[in-house]
């Protein structure tokens, strides 16, 4: 029983880490640019597939390093060419644009790499369970958790202690003032978008090793990421992280004890949080919208 609970919690933490990584990227873009990036799941899958294609030449570790960077570069390009013209317009338009982009991503991935899911294996040494009792603990899973923690820690470091981070935080508060202070907000939004996409690409590579690759792999992650943001509280990255882990654990436990509700439980939690605390767990006071 204890073992089953642990199993559920641990699986949930892993899934939650993916939700959180994706949701934090989405949040970054949403907070600074007011864009809901529907194509985030597509970028995630792209990261995974790039790693899959690169790994035979540069190895797993090389792919882990390079694939998210290429994904981020494509993200920078997409922001520059397609998203930038839409700033200042009704948010409806960026939503529709990234929605269409998500379709194209999915179709493109299927055309290039095939509709069937393909396996992607991290080094074999990492895949064996650490103990028979805790069969679900593999080196790779611990490694994933650690890497997610490092990525999130790194992001918080960038936001809290670097000039770029300071500007991103300032821009989230008041973009106009920041612009009059001489900061090029177009470049800032571009870099910020790239940063968010980098996290998606990284999540994609890690997820590929755990869940396997399919063109629709991002689909199952994007909605829970929205929920992470809503549950955690809008405008709060720590809240988003917490929200992601929380709904991950909830769905992990549900998968063990009540499998048919493993997806729905996430949304039930969202409703519960919204009813009890409309601004989300760590949402700012008075900022319901």
Residues near another protein, by CB under 8 A: 30, 34-36, 82, 85-86, 89-97, 99-104, 106-108, 111, 223, 226-227, 229-230, 234, 260-261, 263-264, 267-268, 270-271, 274-275, 278, 288-289
Please, what is the minimum distance in Å from the beta carbon of residue 92 to another protein? 5
Please, what is the minimum distance in Å from the beta carbon of residue 253 to another protein? 16
Q: DSSP secondary-structure letter at 90? A: -
Q: Give alpha helix (H) positions in the chain.
A: 2-33, 40-78, 91-113, 139-161, 163-173, 175-180, 185-211, 219-232, 237-257, 264-276
Of the two residues 76 and 223, which places its CB atom closer to another protein in the complex?
223
Please, what is the minimum distance in Å from the beta carbon of residue 274 to another protein? 6
Please, what is the minimum distance in Å from the beta carbon of residue 286 to another protein? 11
Of the two residues 34 and 139, which places its CB atom closer to another protein in the complex?
34
Of the two residues 61 and 103, which places its CB atom closer to another protein in the complex?
103
- Which two structure tokens, joined as six digits, stand for 268? 């039930």
Bridge partners, 213 (sequence order): 118
- Which two structure tokens, joined as six digits, stand for 168? 């991103």
Of the two residues 30 and 159, which places its CB atom closer to another protein in the complex?
30
Please, what is the minimum distance in Å from the beta carbon of residue 260 to another protein? 5
Length of the chain: 289
Of the two residues 122 and 243, which places its CB atom closer to another protein in the complex?
243
Residue (of 54, 59, 56, 57) closest to 70 by Cα position? 54
Distance CA 66, CA 141 (A): 21
Please, what is the minimum distance in Å from the beta carbon of residue 162 to another protein? 27
Of the two residues 195 and 230, which places its CB atom closer to another protein in the complex?
230
Non-local (6+) Cβ contacts of 17 within 8 A are 144, 145, 148, 244, 245, 248
In the chain, what is the straight-line distance between the N-terminal and C-terminal CA atoms, in Å?
Answer: 42
């Amino acid at each position: 029983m204890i073992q089953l609970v642990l199993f559920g919690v641990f699986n949930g933490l892993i899934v939650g880490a993916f939700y959180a990584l994706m949701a934090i990227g989405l949040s970054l873009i949403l907070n600074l640019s007011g864009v809901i990036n529907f194509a985030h799941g597509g970028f995630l899958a792209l990261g995974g597939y790039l790693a899959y294609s690169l790994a035979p030449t540069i190895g797993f570790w090389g792919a882990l390093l390079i694939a998210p960077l290429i994904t981020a570069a494509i993200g920078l390009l997409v922001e520059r060419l397609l998203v930038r013209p839409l700033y200042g317009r009704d948010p409806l338009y960026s939503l529709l644009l990234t929605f269409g982009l998500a379709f194209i991503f999915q179709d493109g991935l299927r055309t290039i790499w095939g509709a069937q899911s393909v396996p992607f294996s991290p080094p074999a040494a990492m895949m064996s369970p650490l103990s028979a009792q805790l069969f679900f603990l593999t080196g790779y899973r611990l490694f994933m958790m650690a890497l997610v923690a490092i990525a999130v820690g790194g992001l918080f470091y960038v936001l809290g202690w670097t000039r770029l981070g300071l500007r991103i935080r300032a821009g989230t508060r008041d973009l106009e003032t920041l612009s009059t202070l001489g900061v090029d907000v177009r470049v800032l939004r571009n870099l910020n978008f790239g940063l968010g996409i980098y996290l998606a690409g990284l999540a994609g590579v890690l997820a590929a090793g755990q869940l396997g690759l399919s063109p629709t792999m991002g689909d199952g992650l994007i909605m829970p990421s929205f929920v992470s943001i809503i549950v955690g509280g809008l405008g709060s990255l720590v809240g988003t992280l917490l929200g992601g882990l929380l709904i991950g654990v909830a769905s992990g436990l549900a998968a063990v004890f009540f499998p048919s509700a493993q997806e729905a439980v996430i949304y039930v939690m969202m409703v519960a949080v919204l009813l009890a605390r409309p601004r989300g767990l760590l949402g700012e006071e008075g900022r319901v919208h």
